[in-house]
Chain A
Amino acid sequence: MAFLKLINLTKRYGKYTAVNRVNLDVNKGEFLVILGPSGSGKSTILRLIAGLEDPDEGDIILDGVKINDIDPKDRDIAMVFQSYAIYPHMTVYQNIEFPLKMRKTPSEERKRKVKEVAELLGISHLLEKKAWQLSGGEQQRVALARALVRNPKLFLLDEPLSNLDAKLRVKLRFELRKLLHDELKITTIYVTHDQAEAMTMADRIAIINEGKIIQVDTPLNIYNKPRNTFIATFIGTPPMNLLPGTLKDAHLLIMGDFKLRLNKPLDLHGSVFIGIRPQHFEISKCEPGIKGRVTSYEYLGDDVTIHIDITDLDVQVLMPSRDLRDLVINQEIYLRPVDKIYIFDELSRDLINIIEPNEYSHNYT
């Protein structure tokens, strides 16, 4: 049985449904990331689990016990806010010991535990400092220490890295996962809108949009088999390109122009959306290919993203910089897919099929 189960969880604010019949299972010791754009309801789910808000419908079951009606402080769940919510007027020591003090833990034991946790997070030297004097990274560690000091069953983090500068963010991603998942083995739910964070940190990712969970799977599976166009374009940088196309018998027509011959005819007909990742294109100066015009470059060091205009659609192609050779702006070029092609239903935007690279070939007619 899953360690944490959310069953049909719903939360409304007036007419607006923030969390819509969410079902989610989290396994013990798992590092689950809830990923979604701003306003998708991910923070609300966290607050519901923590007990800061009450659900309108649905149940939350932690370790076999239904916790809907249990006070937040008795749920044995720790949470770290985006702003860290450090008590500014207390010292670091007092901040960390606060949860224990509230539980009336004897002071000897408190001292021991605080020192332990401070040691673990490398902030022992800050214990006597007043909290408002600390830097962002230090405050975050204090928030973590305070949350860890009571050995919670479940650890919740709400976008903890978004207040930090980029370099620190990358470093801390790794450290957080190592600490929570590898060393302490605490079941963790981590909320973010940053798909890179989700991809690098999660055991599984739960993608949420407009209050609904769309897909829950490992990062690799989500990357390789996105369930719909939203996920397909949300995961992966640069985002997957979506091109209109038509399926007819054994041919796939892309952008009304370029024909691909399918080795195995699909049982589908009609208009579709075609998804091709920027890394899966080949650029050539001559046919066959989809005709387009180079508009700009984005250098990323070893790689470069090339923006190509195809009848007003901006298609992005990612390639190693050394393959750039002599492409110039406004040059006319031809694009060819050379790897997976994703087929999405035109109306529902769901994934219908994935065409592997060996299942098609370029047509010369």
Chain B
Amino acid sequence: MKTRTYYAIITLVVGFLLFIIYTMPFIRSIIVSFMTWEQASKIPPDWIPKPFILSNYMKLFRIEMFPRWVINTLIYGVAISTTNVFLGLMAGYSFAVLRYPGRDVIFNLLLTLMMLPMFVTMVPLYVILRYFNLLDNIVALIILGMVSVNTVFMARQYFLSLPRDYFEAARLDGASYIRIFFEIALPMAKPLIIAIIVYQFLGAWNAFFLPVIVLKSPENFVYAQGLNYAFSRAWYVEYTPIIAGTIIGSLPTLLFFILFRKYLIGGIVIRTYRR
């Protein structure tokens, strides 16, 4: 019993230290976002904004392009969530439930695609988009992100886990597979749809690599990209508005956490990290 409490104390102490390390950047950023740059650069650091200002946030919105970045990213997010749901579900269902020659071969080829890094495909994709005059257009991003291998994989896993009886009963009743998809598989796929939407939307909000390649005019940037651009222009002048921008950029993540905390700890929803 003695050793047990000894270890418990160590665990709590180390755990708490790590807890501080992992929350501190967020906490300090929130605090600093309400401070003046002068106060934010003080050593030793201040922890209470004096004066408490909102101008950091206001300055952000005053950059003409800032609202556009938010809107661009929202459009991007909504668009690829929708397309991923449709395309991903169709493909996942087909791979999981139907049987036809070449099915597994094609699926394995898709899986292998996961191993293809983006730095190889970025130049050709740029060239292709250029050819179709789609550069600097958010539509290009949407097309590129229309469906992802991850989505197809998740969908297939999900449909594999459903009892086959439903599908087979409908088949015996004479429905076509596509009909079964719309009338049986889709309604049963609510958790999957939510997972896909969340994953894709978060991905869109956090996107940087592809937008940097595809989007060129600052007003077309997505959020992370735009914020970085604002940073590179405001360098050495005043950083606190950028911090305010990072807080806004972290909001979707926070929301995600508040909504899905239970599932997270249970390890259920996030199959993205399970292969």
Answer yes or no: A and B touching, Cβ < 8 Å. Answer: yes
Partner-B contacts on A (CB < 8 A): 69-71
Q: How far is the CB of B128 from chain A (nearest CB, A)?
A: 49
Asked if B2 is at the interface of the complex by the 8 Å CB criterion, the answer is yes
User: Interface 1/0s, chain B 184-223, versus A by CB < 8 A?
Assistant: 0000000000000000000000000000000000000000
Q: Is the interface of A mostly helix, strand, loop or mixed?
A: loop
The residues of A that contact B4 with a CB separation of less than 8 Å are: 71
User: Interface 1/0s, chain B 56-71, versus A by CB < 8 A?
Assistant: 0000000000000000
7 sampled A-B residue pairs with Cβ under 8 A: A69-B1, A69-B2, A70-B1, A71-B1, A71-B2, A71-B3, A71-B4
How many chain B residues sit at the interface, stated as a range, is under 10
The residues of B that contact A69 with a CB separation of less than 8 Å are: 1-2
Q: How far is the CB of A140 from chain B (nearest CB, A)?
A: 29
User: Interface 1/0s, chain B 3-16, versus A by CB < 8 A?
Assistant: 11000000000000
Q: Is the interface of B mostly helix, strand, loop or mixed?
A: helix
Residue of B nearest to A70 (CB): B1
7 tightest A-B CB contacts, nearest first = A69-B1, A71-B1, A71-B3, A71-B4, A70-B1, A71-B2, A69-B2
Q: A69 vs B2: C-alpha distance in the bound complex, in angstroms?
A: 8
Q: How far is the CB of A56 from chain B (nearest CB, A)?
A: 15
Q: A70 vs B2: C-alpha distance in the bound complex, in angstroms?
A: 8
Q: A69 vs B3: C-alpha distance in the bound complex, in angstroms?
A: 11
Q: A71 vs B7: C-alpha distance in the bound complex, in angstroms?
A: 12
Q: A70 vs B1: C-alpha distance in the bound complex, in angstroms?
A: 5
The residues of A that contact B1 with a CB separation of less than 8 Å are: 69-71
Q: A139 vs B4: C-alpha distance in the bound complex, in angstroms?
A: 30
Q: A70 vs B4: C-alpha distance in the bound complex, in angstroms?
A: 10
Q: How far is the CB of A72 from chain B (nearest CB, A)?
A: 9
Q: How far is the CB of A71 from chain B (nearest CB, A)?
A: 6
Q: How far is the CB of A105 from chain B (nearest CB, A)?
A: 19
The residues of B that contact A70 with a CB separation of less than 8 Å are: 1
Q: A71 vs B1: C-alpha distance in the bound complex, in angstroms?
A: 5
Q: How far is the CB of B126 from chain A (nearest CB, A)?
A: 48
The residues of B that contact A71 with a CB separation of less than 8 Å are: 1-4
Q: How far is the CB of B47 from chain A (nearest CB, A)?
A: 40
Q: A71 vs B4: C-alpha distance in the bound complex, in angstroms?
A: 7
Residue of A nearest to B3 (CB): A71
Kindly identify, within residues 2 to 38 of chain B, every residue whose CB is under 8 Å from any CB belonging to chain A: 2-4
Q: How far is the CB of B257 from chain A (nearest CB, A)?
A: 28
Residue of B nearest to A68 (CB): B1
Residue of A nearest to B2 (CB): A71
The residues of A that contact B3 with a CB separation of less than 8 Å are: 71
Q: How far is the CB of B31 from chain A (nearest CB, A)?
A: 40
Q: How far is the CB of B2 from chain A (nearest CB, A)?
A: 7
Q: How far is the CB of B116 from chain A (nearest CB, A)?
A: 34
Q: How far is the CB of A60 from chain B (nearest CB, A)?
A: 12
Q: How far is the CB of B38 from chain A (nearest CB, A)?
A: 54
Q: A157 vs B2: C-alpha distance in the bound complex, in angstroms?
A: 26
The residues of A that contact B2 with a CB separation of less than 8 Å are: 69, 71
